[in-house]
Amino acid sequence: MQALFASDVNPDLDPLEVLEDLIEEEEAHSAEDGAYAREIVRGVAENAEEIDRVIAEHMTGWRLERIAGVERNVMRIAVWEGLISRRVPVPVAVDEAVEIAKKYGAEESGRFVNGVLGRVFRGVS
């Protein structure tokens, strides 16, 4: 999420390069964690237009570019995990997104992310 957030705030940054810097700084991560983080960042970046379209279609009264970067990027990751890669069960993707939003976002971030993702994944198994 940090790499996607950084490149979202500064479009001149390559999210994969940011991720490599973060992995290098945090030596505690396993090789498997690093590989999955790369897969997420690459997948979100390669599917950004589709992911943003899906999220925007399910927001009421908000434009994607007007919501905070934490919320925007955790939802992007959840949509990639739950709809595109399908490596993560939808309830797990949503729960992880909500928890990260609560931890790093504003007071109402968790509820907002849960509401939007609930609409995105309604009827998806």
DSSP conformation letters of the chain: -HHHHHHHH-TTS-HHHHHHHHHHH-TTS-HHHHHHHHHHHHHHHHTHHHHHHHHHHT-SS--GGGS-HHHHHHHHHHHIIIIII--S-HHHHHHHHHHHHHHHS-TTHHHHHHHHHHHHHTT--
> Cα–Cα distance between 42 and 16 in angstroms, integer?
7
User: pLDDT value at position 62?
Assistant: 86
Identify the CATH number of the domain in which residue 32 sits: 1.10.940.10
User: pLDDT value at position 65?
Assistant: 87
- Residue 113 confidence class, pLDDT cut points 50, 70, 90: very high
Residue 4 and residue 13 in contact, taking contact as beta carbons nearer than 8 Å: no
Total number of domains in the chain = 1
- 1-54 pLDDT, tens digit each: 888 999 988 999 999 999 988 888 776 567 777 889 999 999 999 999 999 999
Determine phi and psi for 124, rounding to 5 degrees: -95, 135
Per the structure, the complete domain to which residue 82 belongs is given by 2-121
Neighbours of 36 (CB within 10 A): 14
- 99-108 pLDDT, tens digit each: 999 999 998 9
User: pLDDT value at position 116?
Assistant: 96
- 71-112 pLDDT, tens digit each: 999 999 999 999 999 989 999 999 999 999 999 999 899 999
61 in the Ramachandran plot: left (φ > 0), alpha (ψ -120 to 50) or beta? left
pTM of the complete model: 0.89
